[in-house]
Amino acid sequence: MKFRIVSVFALVALIFSCEQKPSQTEIAEVLESLIDVSKNDSSLVDAYRENEFQPVWTQSGGLKKVAENYLEALDEVVFDGLEKTDYLTEELAQLIEASKKSKDPMVLATLDLAMSKSFLTLASDLNIGKIDPGKLNIEWKMDRKIPTEKYSEVLLAIAGGESPEKSLANLRPDNSEYNKLREQLRKLIAEPLVDSLQVKNFEGKIEQGDQHEAIPSIRKKLAFWQELKSEGTGNVYSEDMFKAVTHFQKRHGLIDDGVIGGDFIEAINYGQADLITKIKVNLERWRWLPDFTENDKDKVIVNIPDFRLFYIQKSDTILTSKVIVGKDYRQTPVFKSDMTYLVLSPTWTLPETILWEDAIPSIQKDISYLDKHQMKVLDFDGNEVNAKKINWKSLKSKGDFPYMIRQSPGKLNPLGQVKFMFPNDYSIYIHDSPAQSLFSQDERTFSSGCIRMEKPKEFAELLLAETDDWDASTISDSMNLEQEKNVSLKKSQEVWILYVSVWDIAGNVAVRKDVYEMDKKLAAAMSLPVSTFFL
């Protein structure tokens, strides 16, 4: 969206060389010439041609009222996590000042184009996001949102009398989570807090009734985050402080047992500037996303930083389950798919990464590894191969091993008793897990990318509730077979794997740790500050 801007020096000369106020026709003629000789965005060109090159924002006396309304509306974009100066640039501000004195149509035409460029840039940034996620080094596989409006038509609507405020409101995500988070940012900007000192790390843990030298600084931090009404005095972990600690733990996805340890100290030490940055990057990610509230289909939503799955039917959450997601070096990607079937008593075919990094090195050390883990070697037609006839020691690369290794159903199978399939390019699915103790951890990044679920049987029962011949008993029996069994769903379920690290919950801010550093990478792209205590 580039076009020629008259230099400030040229503007000054024009101001003093012109005496008559230009007519609308004169401004339109200059606009047409500027459009024709410049390389402009198609939205800009389309809008002006459709409007017969009539100015949108300017008139013979300077700015129209609609332009003043737009400039006022720019005050609101800070609550979207955007910078006003990206749209009211220094160059645009100079043109506005020049237009107050100049009578030259070139000044007004150039200003009109600059205003339109500003508006179209903001329209796109609000509607689909400022940063292209494809240019960031993150596991973001979601298709970027298609613009909900044709920006040239939005500009034409303003030329026809629609208010810029209304136009911008329509371009924002039609999403209650976005709107609530936006209001939280408004509140933080309106009521800046004075941060206290950081809480120093300590060995061990503190429980209610204990005395500890860290208590005063922890109380100050709790008061800073408005969990306590006052900082209080003394070194005793009191009852009122216990209530504040458990509430803080709930907001931050920690086990709300009131025990103060390393995870709690890490969570409480970030500051308001970090929270503002966290909200801004999450607002930006919401703008990237297609609107998943646009239909009434059943939805399975997994929020990676929250380590939770939500099953939604007709806008009601009917199941919530803890989940385990991928390790930092085997991250679960953000993407969308449709769940179409379940596999009961699943086998597990080892993926290439696990085959070469884990299984083959173990087999090379001990061939009995296969029997101990109920694994078989198969060719790609599914025929079993005698593992003892393979020269395991010689295997160095994929070409050396024209087989696959498959683990039989059973208690040793890492997929547990059921897996939920939503075909995708990343070999990701949701499944049961025999390692139930891991669900008690605060931070659950233990898998190789797939999503392990704490409540798979309950989920299966809900999914198959409308499927003939399936009830809790038949599901339970089929989860304990020696051969896997596929069951097609009566209707597909949308699956959304998301990365949401802060949101509004009943007027409070829920915050989650940036486990894959997507927040930090996006903050860097948006030139937002991040402290060493960023959560």
The per-residue pLDDT for range 291-312, each reduced to its tens digit, is 776 677 899 999 999 999 999 9
For residue 294, the model assigns a pLDDT of 65
- Can you give the pLDDT at residue 26? 85
The per-residue pLDDT for range 412-445, each reduced to its tens digit, is 899 999 999 999 999 999 999 999 999 999 999 9
- Look at residue 38 in the predicted model and tell me its pLDDT: 57
Q: Give the CATH H-level superfamily of domain 296-346+411-500.
A: L,D-transpeptidase catalytic domain-like (2.40.440.10)
Exposure class string for 103-115: b at 16+ Cβ within 10 A, else e: bbbbbbbbbbbbb
The predicted pLDDT at position 14 comes to 45
Taking 70 as the pLDDT cut, the residues of the chain under it are 1-20, 36-40, 194-196, 293-294
Q: Give me the catalytic one of 18, 247, 252, 450.
A: 450
Q: Residue 479 in contact with residue 344, Cβ under 8 Å?
A: yes
Residues 6+ apart with CB under 8 A from 496: 292, 299, 300, 301, 302, 336
Q: Give Cβ neighbours of residue 533 (< 8 Å, ≥ 6 apart).
A: 198, 269, 270, 271, 274
pTM for the model stands at 0.89
391 three-class SS: coil
431 catalytic? Reply is: yes
* 274 contact partners, CB below 8 Å, separation of at least 6: 529, 530, 531, 533, 534, 535
Q: According to CATH, where is 2.40.440.10 located in the chain?
A: 296-346+411-500
pLDDT of res. 291: 79
Do residues 119 and 158 touch, judged by C-beta distance below 8 A? Answer: yes
**Residue 1: what pLDDT?**
44
> Is residue 264 a contact partner of residue 245, using CB atoms and an 8 Å limit?
yes
pLDDT for 100 equals 86
